[in-house]
Amino acid sequence: MVKKEIQRHLDCIKENAVDVISLDELALKLEKSLTEHKPLKLKIGFDPTARDIHLGHTVLLRKLRKLQDLGHIVILIIGDFTAKIGDPSGRSILRPVLSEAEIKDNASTYTDQAFKILDKQKTKVIFNSSWYKEMDMSKFLALLSSYTVARMLERDDFSLRMKENRPLTIVEMVYPLIQGYDSVMIDSDIEFGGTDQKFNLIVGRHLQEVYGKPSQAIVTMPILVGLDGKNKMSKSLGNYIGVAEEPKSMFGKLMSISDEVMLEYFRLLTDIPLDKVKKMHPKEAKLMLAETIVSFYYSDATGKKEKEEFEKIFSQKELPLDMPIYRSGKENIDLIEVLFVEKIAPSKNEARRLLAQGAISIVESDPSKTQTLKEQTVKIPSRGVVLKIGKRKFLKIIP
């Protein structure tokens, strides 16, 4: 019976995983856990370098939730100390240093967003500054002496920056040790991370051995490609979907991904069998993907509503029912100012670019009949007008 249960847990861990170090160690840990009825400690860490958790992060969080459902606990490390350095993993340039106020502000949103997926009752949140602020210099130097410079330079991103004569600070080289020491402090049984974190996770495993503790197993998961279909999902690249994003925006962004990327999103972000997806028309499959994800983060009713709204706009050429309304209070409006104030465009320069590209039009009540706007000043008739901006945004203006 225990062997079957071990295999069930191993199958859950291996699903979609890239690296598992190692299966034999994991089997022993699981056998001990199940025999002694003691849950494993599953470690995951986030540096609060931005306010949003995006769908790329949820690849790991979904895995952890499934293991929580099997009885294990998650130790969520909020790297408020390590964020002052900035994780250099996969980067070819020095990461800007954040202030303490910025880090605190970003961290304040992390747990609420993580608990959209994780079971709060089976999650322990720890800020890693809680032990680093107490660490004296002798302990810190002992930590640094546990790894050589030669081994640290085995990292591809570090060696590349050295070859290209790009800045690589001592602090960045210390980062993997500081992250790894978190594993020592919490007695981590398994640490999870993206494939770009593999080196850091191995350092944590090594440090546990140095400090006389059982070494953690390691599980790496694929990195989700962003909306551009090329780079990993990242807020700094503007190709991300936040888990706290408005449902309309979330749905629209998911519908914008390429058909090639869609299958990967199904595999990593849902439990829908790929065999079922492959039999569907790409458009219908994408609608199901967007509805499924919006429904998870909001509700089934919201997912259904956004699907219906999207189909009205793009399939039936109807206008959305709940478009934002701007009351101008005057007959003539400055289009650039309105788009910026209503946050339709992130900046006035972007609004001007949209206008210059012919991406703004008056659609009235029939989107199939449009009048492309060319002038910045627009006269608003007494009945008002409906503007279409780009492919997905609408704004009703009333004088």
Query: What is the tens place of the pLDDT at every residue in 244-291?
Result: 988 988 998 898 888 889 999 999 999 999 999 999 999 899 999 999
Parallel, antiparallel, or unpaired for β 393-398 and 73-78? Answer: unpaired
Cα–Cα distance, 153 to 157 (Å, whole number): 9
Place of tokens 């910026």: 340
Beta bridge partners of 326: 397
Region(s) of the chain under CATH 3.40.50.620: 2-221
What pTM was estimated for this model as a whole?
A: 0.78
Which parts of the chain register pLDDT below 50?
90-94
Cα–Cα distance, 84 to 95 (Å, whole number): 10
For residue 89, the model assigns a pLDDT of 52
For residue 195, the model assigns a pLDDT of 93
For residue 115, give both structure tokens.
């608990």
For residue 165, the model assigns a pLDDT of 84
CATH code for residues 325-398 = 3.10.290.10
For residue 182, give both structure tokens.
């978190």
- Determine the topology of domain 2-221 in CATH: Rossmann fold (3.40.50)
For residue 104, the model assigns a pLDDT of 80
Exposure of 284 by Cβ count < 10 A (0-12 exposed, 13-18 middle, 19+ buried)?
exposed
* Amino acid at residue number 394: F
Region(s) of the chain under CATH 3.10.290.10: 325-398
Where are any strands of DSSP class E within the chain?
19-21, 41-46, 73-78, 123-127, 190-194, 217-221, 325-327, 332-334, 360-362, 371-372, 377-379, 385-389, 393-398
Cα–Cα distance, 106 to 129 (Å, whole number): 15
